[in-house]
RNA sequence: CCGCCCGUAGCUCAGCUGGAUAGAGCACCAGGCUUCGAACCUGGGUGUCGGGAGUUCGAAUCUCUCCGGGCGGGCCA
């Protein structure tokens, strides 16, 4: 509707130019907004104010001329000049009620688009190392990354969800040593406890399982414990599998499924790390200094150069990072989005710089990043300090157990990733029924309930008939609901484009509010049959959009609660 | 010291590629079910949009600066 109106205004502008009232056409398409105040019409345009100076005309005069030049159409009932020079449009009611027909015709495809045109995009998220259970921060990443993936799918992209983890290196060594120490009966107070050991209780469980010779199965691996306390490699492999399995279970409980797991160790096994080093040296951006090999990332915007190979000969983490992203590029992903905690933001510049140094045609802004800020957990009125080593932190599993998957997902995805998030456990526990997610789900359940009731009454009501009487949908509350339903496609498109899933959460709350107001003001199953049928059509459409939107957030849409 | 993010109602947060009188939830107050689900609805807001300056028809939104908070800044990951 917006684009149709913009086209009409463009025609009016052309007419003014032809008449000599305007010098030239603006380069951009006219901007159409939805006024907050309904007395300002259904849609408005600021074009007169934008062009006033160039036209040498008062904004209101220009607006008046534009209205006069507007071609005849069935879209707009009337338009006014208001305020400093806004043109306010009052849309024909049948245009608004037609959205019900549109939604029912489109079915589940309503709101979807094809801007991605089937192109592949990889979304990497969570990517937790297998050294402990997933915590709340990972949960935020999981909620955002998965919802982002769903949004991209809804806009026509072929999404691959990838999980990358470090299964080698020092942290994993610490893990293995910690498990070994536990297997030897030591605890963190023991004098021989590993210096940077993991102290969480889960280490004991892993040690016990190892000694018992258990077999564990994770999404990307299966392993049976060797039960040999002295075989550190075996302990390491087993511990990784155990924690991978824990994370998989948490993710499954969170309704998140990955398409692909990528192991850092594979970059060494495949020779990709060596190859990357050679390629960077060939590219001419490296130099040796103080017995170390450096990459001149400052050539591409970094604020200091980075060491690739340390004095002692090992590579810094930065090298496999570059190798990994080069691998993504080689896999054909012209578009990659990395969802990470903001504590890793400093890697963005150096990874991009490293990829530029490879000189293999990777665009400068590749890959894209979505960073989420920290999650603070409040409990008993105080902040819970997160400490992985000490093992004292709130896990994703804790949250799911306490408030449920739906509420946890909604809460973690409903706010802008850039804003720090306070998760008040007490509030979620004590008032779980007042969590916003129930408000939206309740609207959906109400839809289902009314439709159920309509069917039970013996079929004298029928949605198809309602579509012939959409003009009955003319009360203020009803029209407000129609407007919200009509907004859905642009909400999805914008959220996907801006990589901001929380737009959908906000929209759904507004849609649910409009539905509840409508529901409360008008009895669907009472009154004239034509009116009831029309309202049933509206309820059917509402239910569908609510379910569709909730699905984008990975939240269920129950028929009853 | 440098970089990124944030600062909006008592609390938690939307709104930020400039639009009209800055919004929602929670909390609090007053109403609304013999009728489709009251997990709902209706009404109730004295906010220096952290402070200041600039840009312009117009700034919570863009620029600069200062203040406050978070996170980074290692031949750790």
Residue ranges of domains in chain A, CATH in brackets: 2-91 (3.30.1360.70), 96-112+432-552 (1.10.730.10), 170-255 (no CATH)
Residue-averaged pLDDT of chain A = 91
A18: confidence class by pLDDT, cuts 50, 70, 90: confident
pLDDT at A254 over 90: yes
Is A38 near strand B, with its CB below 7 A from some atom of it? no
- For strand B, list residues 354-373 of chain A whose Cβ lies within 7 Å of it: 371, 373
Q: Which of residues 373-402 of A touch strand B (CB under 7 A)?
A: 373-374
Q: What does the pLDDT look like over A155-172, one tens digit per residue?
A: 999 999 999 999 888 889
CA A446 to C1' B41 (Å) is: 14
| pLDDT tens-digit readout, A94-147 | 888 999 999 999 999 999 999 999 999 999 999 999 998 999 999 999 999 999
Environment class of residue A72 by beta-carbon count within 10 Å: exposed (0-12), middle (13-18) or buried (19+)?
Answer: exposed
Residue A521 approaches strand B within 7 Å at CB: yes
Cα separation, A453 vs A524, whole angstroms: 10
Q: A421 to each of A140, A263, A402, how far by Cα in Å?
A: 9, 30, 18
Reported confidence tier of residue A385, pLDDT bands at 50, 70, 90: low
CA-CA distance, A372 to A297, in Å (whole number)? 25
For residues A396-426, b (16+ Cβ closer than 10 Å) or e, as one string?
A: bbbbbeebbbbbbbbbbbbbebeeebebebe
Whether nucleic acid strand B comes within 7 Å of the CB of A504, the answer is: no
Residues in A 127-156 whose C-beta is less than 7 A from nucleic strand B are 129
| Closest nt to residue A509, judged CA to C1' | B24
Protein-proximal nucleotides of chain B (any atom < 7 Å from a CB): 2-7, 12-17, 19-27, 32, 35-37, 39-42, 56-58, 69-77
Strand A292-295 versus strand A286-289 pairing type: antiparallel
Q: Cis omega (within 30 of 0) on the bond before A367?
A: yes
Q: How far apart are CA A312 and CA A168, in angstroms?
A: 18
For residue A180, give every residue at least 6 positions away whose Cβ sits within 8 Å of its Cβ, in sequence order, or none: A207, A229, A232, A235
Mean pLDDT confidence for A454-471: 81
Q: Within 10 A of A332 (CB to CB), how many other CB atoms are there?
A: 8
What is the Cα A538 distance to its own chain's centre?
Answer: 28
**Closest C-alpha to A463, from A441, A488, A483, A455:** A455
Distance CA A511, CA A85 (A): 30
Q: What is the pairing mode between strands A421-424 and A221-224?
A: unpaired
Q: pLDDT band for A431, please (50, 70, 90 cuts).
A: low
Residue nearest to nucleotide B73 (CA to C1'): A346
Q: Which of residues 172 to 211 on A have a Cβ less than 7 angstroms from any strand B atom?
A: none
Q: How far apart are the first and last CA of chain A?
A: 36
3-class SS shares of chain A: helix, strand, coil, % to 5: 55, 15, 30
Angle between helices A201-211 and A232-253 (to 10 degrees): 120
Of all nucleotides, the one whose C1′ comes closest to residue A48's CA is B57
Q: Is the CB of residue A456 inside 7 Å of nucleic acid strand B?
A: no
- Separation of A36 CA and B22 C1' (Å): 11
Higher pLDDT, A377 or A534: A534
Complex ipTM value: 0.95
pLDDT of the residue at A432: 67
Nucleotide nearest to A52 in CA–C1' terms: B57
Per-residue flag: A33 CB under 7 A of strand B: yes
A268 Cβ contacts chain B strand, under 7 Å: no
Strand-by-strand arrangement of the A382-384 sheet = A382-384, A375-379, A421-424
């Amino acid at each position: 509707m917006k684009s149709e109106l913009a086209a009409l205004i463009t025609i009016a502008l052309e007419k003014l130019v032809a008449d000599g009232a305007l010098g030239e056409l603006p380069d951009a398409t006219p901007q159409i907004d939805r006024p907050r105040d309904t007395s300002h019409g259904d849609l408005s345009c600021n074009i007169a104010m934008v062009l006033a100076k160039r036209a040498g005309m008062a904004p209101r005069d220009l607006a008046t001329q534009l209205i006069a030049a507007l071609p005849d159409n069935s879209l707009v009932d009337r338009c006014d000049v208001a305020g400093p020079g806004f043109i306010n449009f009052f849309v024909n009611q049948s245009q608004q009620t037609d959205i019900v027909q549109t939604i029912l015709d489109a079915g589940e495809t309503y709101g979807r688009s094809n801007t991605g045109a089937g192109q592949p995009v990889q979304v990497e998220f969570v990517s937790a190392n297998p050294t402990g259970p997933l915590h709340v921060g990972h949960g935020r990443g999981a909620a955002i990354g998965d919802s982002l993936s769903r949004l991209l799918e809804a806009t026509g992209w072929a999404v691959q969800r990838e999980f990358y983890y470090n299964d080698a290196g020092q942290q994993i060594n610490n893990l293995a040593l910690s498990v070994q120490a536990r297997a030897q009966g030591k605890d963190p107070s023991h004098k021989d406890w590993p210096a940077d050991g993991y102290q969480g209780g889960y280490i004991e469980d892993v040690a016990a399982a190892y000694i018992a010779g258990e077999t564990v199965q994770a999404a990307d691996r299966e392993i049976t414990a060797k039960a040999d306390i002295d075989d550190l490699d075996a302990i390491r492999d087993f511990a990784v599998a155990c924690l991978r399995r824990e994370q998989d279970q948490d993710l499954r409980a969170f309704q998140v499924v990955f398409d692909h797991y990528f192991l850092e160790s594979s970059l060494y096994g495949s020779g990709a790390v060596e190859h990357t080093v050679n390629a960077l040296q060939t590219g001419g951006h490296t130099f040796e200094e103080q017995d170390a090999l450096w990459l001149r990332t400052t050539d591409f915007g970094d604020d200091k150069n980075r060491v690739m190979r340390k004095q002692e000969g090992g590579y810094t983490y930065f090298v496999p990072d570059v190798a990994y992203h080069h691998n993504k590029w080689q896999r054909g992903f012209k578009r990659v989005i990395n969802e990470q905690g903001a504590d890793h933001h400093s890697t963005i510049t150096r990874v991009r710089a490293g990829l530029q140094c490879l000189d293999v045609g990777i665009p400068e802004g590749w890959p894209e990043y979505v960073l989420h800020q920290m999650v603070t957990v409040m409990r008993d009125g105080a902040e819970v300090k997160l400490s992985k080593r000490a093992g004292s932190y709130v896990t994703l599993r804790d949250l799911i157990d306490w408030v449920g998957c739906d509420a946890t997902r909604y809460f973690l995805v409903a706010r802008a990733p850039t804003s720090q998030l306070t998760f008040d456990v007490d509030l979620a526990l004590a008032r779980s029924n007042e969590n916003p997610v129930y408000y939206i789900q309740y609207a959906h359940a109400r839809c289902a309930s009314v439709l159920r009731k309509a069917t039970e009454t013996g079929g004298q009501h029928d949605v198809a008939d309602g579509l012939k009487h959409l003009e009955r949908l003319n009360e203020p509350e009803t029209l407000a609901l129609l407007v919200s339903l009509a907004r859905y496609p642009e909400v999805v498109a914008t959220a996907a484009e801006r990589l901001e899933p929380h737009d959908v959460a906000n929209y759904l709350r507004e849609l649910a509010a409009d539905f509840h107001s409508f529901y409360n003001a008008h009895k669907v199953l009472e009154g004239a049959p034509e009116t009831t049928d029309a309202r049933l059509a509206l309820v059917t459409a509402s239910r569908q959009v609510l379910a569709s939107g909730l699905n984008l957030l990975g939240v269920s849409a129950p028929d009853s609660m």
